[in-house]
Chains A and B, each alone.
Chain A
Amino acid sequence: MTAVVTTTPFAAAGELTRVRRRSRAWNANLVGGGVLLVLVLLTTLAAPLFAWAGPNQTFPGLALLPPQGYFPFGTDSVGRDLFARVLYGGRLSLLIAVPSVGLATALGLLIGVPAGYWGGRVDQVLMRFLDVFFAFPAILLAILVVSILGPSVRNLILTIGLIYTPRMARIVRAPTLTVREREYVTAAQALGASQGRIVSRYLLPNIASPIIVEISLALGQVMLTESALSFLGFGPPPPDPSWGAMISQNRQFMEFAPWVVLAPCGALVLAIAAFLLVGQGLRYWLDPRQER
């Protein structure tokens, strides 16, 4: 017994140093993704600073120009600057992605925390209810809801937010289940802390890490869903630039003017990769014990 007691602290200390060393080590995902993300956010959110033309401004007689000085990404079939359209399209995509992930996170917390914290029948009912939603592919649900509500930026935010809620609720519920069994929660309960205080002071700070990671990953996923929707014609109504719509509408010209699809494709892939890398980087940074 004593042997165990004396050896454990050393082992734990060794483990801790190793973990610390690893957390300080070069986090390529976070750094690379962060740089990429800053680039994406800066160029899209400050689009007017970088693009001299407007996204819907047409230049008659200058259709399908290859990339060159004034038009870094070339022009499309009606003579619009693709560089401007890609940047403004990214802005619109973020304008949809950020509020819809916010909505999904808020609703996910409202469902996941009670389900995990109180458990029992509440948990059973809520989780069975969510199981039903997981039977539908996200894109199919999205098309259905958008076709019911009608395509507009507001409806897209609502639709995508609702579709990501079940996933967020599961992400919230899992760590809630383990944290509620911790000694500090029992101690707070024994001291007579109110449920609201336990949830806000002890529960939420300790389940924050996986939720933050999921928010970053979800932002990438939501941009993908939004672009898939607009690719199929269920996105923001034209002429607003949207990456998915640009890809599908420009496809007929791509054989002799490949830049008309390559520019929005590249932007979309970079944006998704940025959120993905930052999400993975954050996962290791917030919890260095995670296997790389």
Chain B
Amino acid sequence: MGRVILRRAIFLLPILFGVSLLTFLGLHAIPGDLAVLLIGQDGVQDPVALANIRRAYGLDQPLLVQYFLWLSKVVRGDFGTSLRLHVPVLEEIMRRLPLTLELAFLATLFGLVVGGTVGFFAATRGRGWGLGGRLFTLGGVALPNFVLATILLLVGSRFLPFIPTLQYVGFRENPGQHLLGLLYPVLSLGVGLAAVIAENMRAAMTEVLSAEYVRVGRAKGLRERTVLLRHVLRNALIPIVTITGLQVTTLLGGTILIESIFALPGLGRLALSAISLRDYPLMQGVVLVVATLVVLSNLLADLAYAWFDPRIRLG
């Protein structure tokens, strides 16, 4: 297993390289002179200071040289300094990352439990559950996360005033209030995920139910419970792992909207403010970290897939 993980990780290097190149070049396509942005409005009149800034940031070098200079710093953990916050970019990202990961983890958990349950019953119970499952899928997919967040805020403020909204409480300050405050954000992110998982779960269950070994299991007199849990569910969960891994991209994109709506100090909100304020090194850092998270979670899904299904052998 160790060697497999290493091989897959090496496989990721070209993708990460492409991601870094795209991030770098894309942000250099932003119109306007970076040196002017760095020095601020007051220094623009001073050509010597401007030239010094250019030299200090390597902006007088060819683009390709600039890229490799930047990359060599990035791999050593130096993402530069934020133009607006005046702190190292990596430090700010690491401060924001735990909340976003917590949000993504809880939303995934919600999606797996709720979506898995709905999909399971939609495939095994009668028509009522089948129809209910389809309505759940349709509603969950058609309801954008920011619409759901808005409606939760509207309904919650009227009927559930004890749930804190729009004021973030740290976990260390008050764990209960912290988790309660994450309820709406997790629901907003998790319902869409649950819908996707429910639909795939139902399809996977239906397919496995028609397999020969299920018929054999029933024929040799296993209890229906054993057939469903030991044979059908275990095999139906295999594709769900991949689906969930692929949804991480959407989930991280969703945190941009959800964290701004609920005023949560996470990575998504940092990305939005960095882009709005044209905080160039911060933008590059956040985009790179988000893309790396996506790539890593895809790797994790691949490995989990192999672990769940011994028939799959990763080369």
Roughly how many angstroms separate A224 CA and B290 CA in the complex, as a whole number? Answer: 21
Roughly how many angstroms separate A227 CA and B291 CA in the complex, as a whole number? Answer: 23
Interface on chain A toward B: helix, strand, loop, or mixed SS?
helix
**Distance (whole angstroms) from the CB of A142 to the closest CB of chain B:** 9
A139-B257, A227-B144 given as contacts; is B18 within 8 A of A132 (CB)? yes
Partner of B249, one of A137, A145, A224, A251: A137
Roughly how many angstroms separate A233 CA and B275 CA in the complex, as a whole number? Answer: 12
Query: Which segment of B25-33, B105-113, B220-228 sits at the interface?
Result: B25-33
Within 8 A of A (CB), among B3-52: 14-15, 18-19, 22, 26-27, 29-31
Within 8 A of B (CB), among A134-154: 134-140, 143-145, 147-148
Determine the chain B residues whose CB is within 8 A of the CB of A148 once the complex forms: 26, 29-31
Q: How many A residues have CB within 8 A of the partner chain?
A: 41
B157 lies within 8 A of chain A by Cβ: yes
Query: Which segment of A19-27, A93-101, A204-212, A261-269 sits at the interface?
Result: A261-269
Query: Are A134 and B138 in contact (CB-based, < 8 A)?
Result: no
Determine the chain B residues whose CB is within 8 A of the CB of A143 once the complex forms: 256, 271-272, 275
Q: Which residue of B lies closest to A233 (CB)?
A: B276
What band does the interface of chain B fall in when counting residues whose beta carbon is under 8 Å from A?
35 or more
Q: Which residue of A lies closest to B249 (CB)?
A: A137
Sampled A-B contacts (30; CB under 8 Å): A128-B14, A128-B15, A132-B15, A135-B292, A136-B22, A136-B249, A137-B252, A137-B253, A138-B250, A138-B253, A139-B254, A140-B253, A140-B256, A140-B287, A143-B271, A143-B275, A147-B30, A147-B276, A148-B31, A220-B142, A228-B257, A233-B276, A244-B146, A251-B153, A255-B154, A255-B158, A268-B147, A269-B143, A269-B144, A291-B203
User: Which residues in B have some Cβ–Cβ distance to A below 8 Å?
Assistant: 14-15, 18-19, 22, 26-27, 29-31, 138, 141-144, 146-147, 150-151, 153-154, 157-158, 203, 206-207, 249-250, 252-254, 256-257, 260, 271-272, 275-276, 278, 283, 287, 290-292, 294-295
